Amino acid sequence: MKPVLIFRHIGCEGAGYLADYLDARGISHRLIAIDQGMAVPRWPVEAGGLVFMGGSMSVNDPLPWIADELALIRAACAEGMPVLGHCLGAQLIARALGGVVKANPVKEIGWFDVETVEPAASRLLPGIPHRFEGFHWHGETFTLPEGSTLLMRNRHCAHQAFANGSALGLQFHVEVTAPMVREWVELSREELERDGDRTAVQTPSQILEAAEVRATAMQPIADRLYDYWLTPSRA
């Protein structure tokens, strides 16, 4: 397979477990560090897939690289190239394909259950648990682009995962590792302590509790989702 290009938007939101997944399968990957001023390629003929990571910005912000990424996503999807988005990345995919990105009813930060939407999830992701714990850090959500299949949801956010042609968007952070969780908490401790009494925002101690065990427990879920993303043809 040709190399996978991974678009990083802020320094602390790198590939995480996704890099381990790709390395274990002998799939090369290259970082496009938007946070360091790297340009968005117009059409990466050398790429076998595109991955868009998270970030603290909004898809609706007037940042010069957002329009370039949206155009690239549309072109890649038109060609059937595997495209994957985590959190902000999922919102970029939704926006590129005609959806609207807007405020979620609540800010969602911490470990909360995700459930599959049936029968679509069983058909496209056979063997994946109906309910599992995922890691979340977002204040926005998106409407589903035309032709999308909703795969996952939870009580805080109606659209947690969707498929659209060769694209897979994940609102939650299936890629996080325990060190990533600890870094995010330290960078945002003031925000978490201020908002920690809200139903959908956990305190730093709640987020850090058993972070290693929880992140490891998500990896089989990540494997199944990433397997689906890299599948050339989908029923």
Catalytic residue among 9, 138, 159, 173: 173
- What b/e string do you get for 42-80 counting C-beta neighbours within 10 Å, with b at 16 or more? eebeebbbbbbbbbeebbeeeeebbeebbebbbbbbeee
Catalytic, 175? Answer yes
Catalytic residue among 29, 77, 87, 156: 87
Q: Which amino acid is at 92?
A: L
Catalytic, 173? Answer yes
Pairing of strands 4-8, 149-153: unpaired
Instruction: Report the distance separating Cα 22 and Cα 201, nearest Å.
Output: 31
Catalytic, 157? Answer no
Q: Find, among 172, 174, 173, 178, the residue nearest to 211 by Cα.
A: 178
Is the sign of the CA dihedral 162, 167, 170, 175 positive or negative? positive
Catalytic residue among 13, 69, 108, 175: 175
Q: Catalogue the active-site residues.
A: 87, 173, 175
